[in-house]
Structure 1
Amino acid sequence: MSKINSLVTGGAGFIGSHVARHCLALGHNVIVLDDLSGGFEDHIPAGAVFVKGSVTDHQLISELFAKYKFDYVYHLAAYAAEGLSHFIRRFNYETNLIGSINLINEAVKAEVKCFVFTSSIAVYGPGQLPMTEDMTPIPEDPYGVSKYAVELDLKAAHHMFGLNYVIFRPHNVYGENQNIGDKYRNVIGIFMNQIMQGKPMTIFGDGEQTRAFSYIDDVAIPIANCVNNPKTYNEVFNIGADKPYTINELVGVVCKHLNAQPNTKYLQARKEVVHAYSDHAKAHRIFGTNGAVSLDEGIKKMASWAKVVGARKSQEFNNVEIRKNMPEGW
């Protein structure tokens, strides 16, 4: 029996590196495609083949499909800065939408068995709580718009060409390998990086906004395993933690595991969804509920890792297209 070939885009990034690791554990031959714009080569698990490049390079994508005859595509490459997407609209759509279409085109031509896409709860927009998969998405930022457009395109490709897909909508994922030097996204990583640099933790608004923070393996393992369960094919799944916390509550947990006293700086509120959490009943029915990692346990794991890797310098995004109304501190 020939070995399964799987493409993992964004496999040097946060979620992608964990999905690649779990695919290897399943016995897949894993090819990682990443341009290292947000990931790190040392995050790529041993045993994976690394190709440095972008999903926006349609010629490279075509060559990879011809060479490796992929059975599965796990598409996690994206510039996932939801708030920043308002100010980098062209970059957002070129990377997150057109890059995805390059992959879908080749997946159709290669007749891959399944295309696994990591979308986001950003597709839902505001005021739909708890978010359920049967709601009509109304994204309010370009990042969410691009993710939902890819979802619609996958459904169209399935209807026209029979391309099977699985769509996951994770949210607020954290854990080892997160880019804690990215000041535009991932609040837990931002807090840890600020603490380790002796800086105050910056909070937009009053800190009473709520999110359900999801530990990485509670997300990455189902993503990797889904191709082995036909019940997941051509379905959409919310995936992640069930219990929401305020940002102010989060401060206490992060400080506890980094042995730090809370030191916060409140900034002007951003134009963002105040409360965001989703219903996971559908995912629980298919993937089960065993082993979910609590926020306290997950942050303890991430803090242990962060202490080893140390603080990282915040990266500036140098291709901002619109500067009007940018949040303080960006």
Structure 2
Amino acid sequence: MITSLVTGGAGFIGSHVAKHCLNLGHKVIVLDDLSGGFEDHVPQGVEFMEGSINDVELLEALFEKHRFDYVYHLAAYAAEGLSHFIRRFNYNNNLIGSVNLINLSVLYKIKCFVFTSSIAVYGAGQLPMLESMVPQPEDPYGVAKYAVEMDLKAAKHMFGLNSVIFRPHNVYGENQNIGDKYRNVIGIFMNQIMQQKPMTIFGDGEQTRAFSYIDDVAPHIANCVNVPAAYNQVFNVGADKPYTVNELVQVVAKELGVEPKVTHLEARKEVMHAHSEHSKAAGVFGNSKNVSLEEGIAKMAAWAKVVGSRASAEFDNIEIEENLPQGWSKKSMAV
């Protein structure tokens, strides 16, 4: 039987990838420290281990016991905007933790290492974002993701470790942590509405993103190990059509049955426009009709109504307070 490790499998994308791996007939072991995920998101039928990718002894024991065929690495602290202010935490978790897994994947002769990177590696001013472009990340989150991509290429050159790298973007859907105020704007909006609070927008709301429903992303990540043409390649994956945050407000409010109420906060220093091109993925995995924003948000809203609102967790280890966006400091508590 094929045995796969899914790190971050109690989180959002990871829990969906674990489910699809099960559907492909894999024996799945999920490793998650529950810092951003929930144990009840782990699919039935997988073996769950609570722990960190920075616990090298635990990783060694797991690799020795299970002799994995594939590693799907989705464990990361993915608050891109916050990464400026938690630089040490970001690199320890998103870079060093990844290297721990790559080392063991080399030592245990893993057949393929599947890594979820991000379009954050591209930075600003490169539209549409193409895999052939030279990445120019503008924040520590993107820097860490690109560093892992380069490390995987080096591991292929030196040790023959195969990998598939995905750069998903602005993914939303069921199992998202809607209580996290630092990331995932659709979840933030839904949580604010259910708490009868106004939706908060940084700046004028004219920044654009192509919001991607989870079912347009997770199946490709799970199945890529069965697609030889995908090996040692990088793929953008997600929706094609960008929307402004102002447009997003209208759709989310409509699907939750409320009139939109908005509070504008001071603009963040962020990439204003980000969307990528997906013809490379279509050529390898086949064309698929993306779930529309309205349909995807309707599905997520139905789930969110059942789950209910969640309290926004405070990140307790801010390393730099200077220029911290409004509402992200305990001192301001604007959200």
- After TM superposition, is the score higher than 0.5? yes
Instruction: After superposing the two structures, state which structure 1 stretch, 291-300 or 77-86, moved more.
Output: 291-300
Structure 1 counterpart of 2:146: 148
Structure 1 counterpart of 2:126: 128
Structure 2 counterpart of 1:64: 62
- Compute the displacement of 1:292 (Å): 1.6
The one-letter code sitting in structure 2 at the alignment partner of 1:184 is: Y
- Compute the displacement of 1:20 (Å): 0.1
How does the TM-score come out when normalised to structure 2?
0.97
The one-letter code sitting in structure 1 at the alignment partner of 2:203 is: G
Instruction: After superposing the two structures, state which structure 1 stretch, 141-150 or 284-293, moved more.
Output: 284-293
CA distance in 1, matches of 2:213, 2:12: 12
- Compute the displacement of 1:262 (Å): 0.5
- What CA deviation, in whole Å up to 9, does each residue of 1:139-162 have, x standing for no partner? 010000000000000000000000
Structure 2 counterpart of 1:223: 221
Q: What is the aligned counterpart of 1:84 among 79, 82, 85? A: 82
Q: What is the aligned counterpart of 1:311 among 298, 309, 312? A: 309
The one-letter code sitting in structure 2 at the alignment partner of 1:10 is: G
Structure 2 counterpart of 1:236: 234
Structure 2 counterpart of 1:25: 23
Structure 1: gaps of 5 or more residues: none
- Compute the displacement of 1:59 (Å): 1.1
The one-letter code sitting in structure 1 at the alignment partner of 2:117 is: S
In the TM superposition, 1:137-286 aligns within 5 A as 137-286=135-284
Contact 2:17 2:218 in 1 (8 A): yes
CA distance in 2, matches of 1:321, 1:48: 36
Identity within the alignment, %: 75
Structure 2 counterpart of 1:119: 117
CA distance in 1, matches of 2:54, 2:125: 33
CA distance in 2, matches of 1:287, 1:272: 31
How does the TM-score come out when normalised to structure 1?
0.99
SS of 1:22's equivalent in the other structure is helix
Instruction: After superposing the two structures, state which structure 1 stretch, 289-298 or 146-155, moved more.
Output: 289-298
The one-letter code sitting in structure 2 at the alignment partner of 1:9 is: T
Structure 1 counterpart of 2:290: 292
CA distance in 1, matches of 2:277, 2:203: 25
Instruction: After superposing the two structures, state which structure 1 stretch, 168-177 or 283-292, moved more.
Output: 283-292
CA distance in 1, matches of 2:156, 2:286: 27
SS of 1:266's equivalent in the other structure is strand
Structure 2 counterpart of 1:43: 41
The one-letter code sitting in structure 2 at the alignment partner of 1:94 is: N
- Compute the displacement of 1:291 (Å): 3.5
Structure 2 counterpart of 1:11: 9
In the TM superposition, 1:96-115 aligns within 5 A as 96-115=94-113
Q: How many residues align?
A: 328
Structure 1 counterpart of 2:321: 323
CA distance in 1, matches of 2:56, 2:79: 23
- What CA deviation, in whole Å up to 9, does each residue of 1:211-262 have, x standing for no partner? 0000001100000000000000000000000000000000010011100100
SS of 1:136's equivalent in the other structure is coil
Instruction: After superposing the two structures, state which structure 1 stretch, 99-108 or 287-296, moved more.
Output: 287-296
CA distance in 2, matches of 1:270, 1:97: 25
CA distance in 1, matches of 2:190, 2:52: 29
- Compute the displacement of 1:286 (Å): 1.1
SS of 2:10's equivalent in the other structure is coil
CA distance in 1, matches of 2:271, 2:287: 27
- Compute the displacement of 1:288 (Å): 1.8
CA distance in 1, matches of 2:132, 2:53: 30
SS of 1:169's equivalent in the other structure is strand
SS of 2:217's equivalent in the other structure is helix
- What CA deviation, in whole Å up to 9, does each residue of 1:14-38 have, x standing for no partner? 0000000000000000000000000
The one-letter code sitting in structure 2 at the alignment partner of 1:287 is: F
CA distance in 2, matches of 1:139, 1:286: 26
SS of 2:100's equivalent in the other structure is helix
The one-letter code sitting in structure 2 at the alignment partner of 1:302 is: M
